[in-house]
Each structure stands twice: as structure tokens, then as C-alpha cells.
């Protein structure tokens, strides 16, 4: 019989956010595939999980998918985790999931932690309809992507790193309009969790004066109908 791939969300900050089922799966599988074994070994050690752990990240996933699928076909069970949140959402994992689906191997994605939904709800912006863009292109296609999103009629959610945050906010203000409402959440579920709300211009001013620190989720209001 073929094995099974479990996609297991892990806490984005607070370790108490892991689910009972996630712990059970991590204890029961034959192998845990981790984005960074140094990060994940701390998580497994905290919950006294002794399952073997190997690396599966963006730099090796193209080379390892075929061999992992063969092991799953032979009957092994794997848990795929990322450093934080749900794998394959702006993290490694999509290639392995796709290969398993194509080869008829069962995939079970557990519900659990993600930074998208808490930031969206915390923003106070409409969350009945939204579009998640993940990380914007670093260079090529960045301007055109933002221009394409300028008239988006749903709330927009982005991930951003601290050293790119001010650039992204400045570009969004220039293309979307400086008065567009937005909210920024950082360090979700951690000690210094914070959500800032205001216009894009106000957020640009804030982070011009205050160095961005932590991991950020940017939520931007939809374009208003003219």
C-alpha cells in the first residue's frame, strides 16, 4: 500500500498554538520533512517528539521530490512542516504535494496556524472577500504586479520582510493612492505582537521614523468604485 503525506501547520510564534492532532501526526509518521531542521528540531524537542527529521527546503526540493515520492509509494508516511505556519503557503511544499497528487498518493493537510487570517481579521478591513499575494516579486515584474492590483476590489494581503517593508509601502502609496486604508501586523502571537492601522501615507511616515523589525503581514483596503 502507498504511504501518506501529512501537511502539518506549525505555530507562527506561540508554541501553544500547535494542535493536538499535529502533535499526534508528528509522533506517528516515519519521517518529518522540515524547511530548516535547526528550527524544527527545537519544536520537536519541546513536545518530546523523536521522529527522524530531514531537510526539505526551496534549495533542494527540486532534487528530492522524486526520491521522496518513491518512499511514499513504498508505504512510508511523512509529515511536511515549515519553519512557521502552513507549508506551501509562501513556503516550500507545493512541489511535493503536486507530485503526490499526480502519483495517487494520499495528501492530508491539517488545519492550523497561518499568519494570513489573524492579520486580515485584526486589520478591521473587510475580510469576506480577499486576495492573498504572498511576497511581491523582488525586482522583475514588481511594478507591473502592483499596477495590476491597483484596482483590485477585494482586500489585499501581502507578506513582507523588514528590509523591504518601507519600499513596498512607498510603492503602494504611489500606485494605489496615499489615502488607501491599510493595516500592518508584525510578530503575530509573539511577545511583541503589534497591529498598526492607518492610510498608506501614515504607515509610510511611521516606518520612516521607526525601523521595521520582525515579520510583517500587510493588509490593504480594496479600491473604491468610482
pLDDT tens by residue, 100-155 = 999 999 999 999 999 999 999 999 999 999 999 999 998 889 999 999 999 999 99
User: CATH 3.30.950.10 in the chain, residues?
Assistant: 116-220
Entry pTM: 0.90
The reported pLDDT for the residue numbered 226 is 63
On whether the CB atoms of residues 53 and 81 are closer than 8 A, the answer is: no
Residue 5, all three cell numbers:
503525506
Q: What is 4-109's CATH number?
A: 3.40.1010.10
**What average pLDDT does range 163-174 have in this prediction?**
96
The reported pLDDT for the residue numbered 11 is 96
The reported pLDDT for the residue numbered 1 is 63
User: CATH 3.40.1010.10 in the chain, residues?
Assistant: 4-109
Average pLDDT, the chain: 94
Largest CA distance in the chain: 59
**What average pLDDT does range 178-188 have in this prediction?**
97
On whether the CB atoms of residues 203 and 182 are closer than 8 A, the answer is: yes
Percent of the chain with pLDDT over 90: 88
**What average pLDDT does range 186-196 have in this prediction?**
94
Q: What is 116-220's CATH number?
A: 3.30.950.10
The reported pLDDT for the residue numbered 19 is 97
pLDDT at residue 197 greater than cutoff 90 = yes
Better-predicted residue by pLDDT, 53 or 1: 53
Q: What is the DSSP string of 76-118?
A: -EEEEE-SSB-TTSSSTTHHHHHHHHHTT-EEEEPP---SHHH
How would residue 76 be classed by pLDDT, with cut points 50, 70 and 90?
Answer: very high
Beta strands in the chain (DSSP E): 4-7, 31-34, 53-55, 77-81, 106-109, 130-134, 155-160, 181-186, 194-199, 216-220
Distance CA 23, CA 195 (A): 30
End-to-end CA distance of the chain: 58
Amino acid at each position: 500500500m502507498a504511504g501518506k503525506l501529512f501537511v502539518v501547520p506549525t505555530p507562527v510564534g506561540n508554541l501553544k498554538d500547535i494542535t493536538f492532532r499535529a502533535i499526534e501526526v508528528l509522533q506517528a509518521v516515519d519521517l518529518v520533512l522540515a524547511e530548516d531542521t535547526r528550527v524544527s528540531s527545537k519544536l520537536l524537542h519541546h513536545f518530546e517528539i523523536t521522529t527522524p527529521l530531514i531537510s526539505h527546503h526551496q534549495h533542494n526540493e527540486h532534487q528530492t521530490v522524486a526520491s521522496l515520492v518513491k518512499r511514499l509509494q513504498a508505504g512510508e508516511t511523512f509529515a511536511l512542516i515549515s519553519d512557521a505556519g502552513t507549508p506551501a503557503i509562501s513556503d516550500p511544499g507545493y512541489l511535493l504535494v503536486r507530485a503526490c497528487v499526480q502519483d495517487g498518493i494520499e495528501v492530508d493537510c491539517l488545519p492550523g496556524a497561518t499568519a494570513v487570517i489573524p492579520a486580515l481579521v485584526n486589520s478591521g478591513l473587510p475580510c469576506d472577500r480577499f486576495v492573498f499575494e504572498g511576497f511581491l516579486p523582488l525586482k522583475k515584474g514588481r511594478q507591473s504586479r502592483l499596477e495590476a492590483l491597483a484596482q483590485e476590489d477585494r482586500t489585499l494581503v501581502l507578506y513582507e520582510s523588514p528590509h523591504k517593508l518601507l519600499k513596498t509601502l512607498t510603492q503602494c502609496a504611489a500606485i494605489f493612492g496615499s489615502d488607501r486604508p491599510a493595516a500592518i501586523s508584525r510578530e503575530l502571537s509573539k511577545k511583541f505582537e503589534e497591529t498598526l492601522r492607518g492610510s498608506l501615507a501614515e504607515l509610510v511616515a511611521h516606518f520612516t521614523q521607526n525601523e521595521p523589525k520582525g515579520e510583517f503581514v500587510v493588509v490593504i483596503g480594496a479600491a473604491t468604485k468610482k
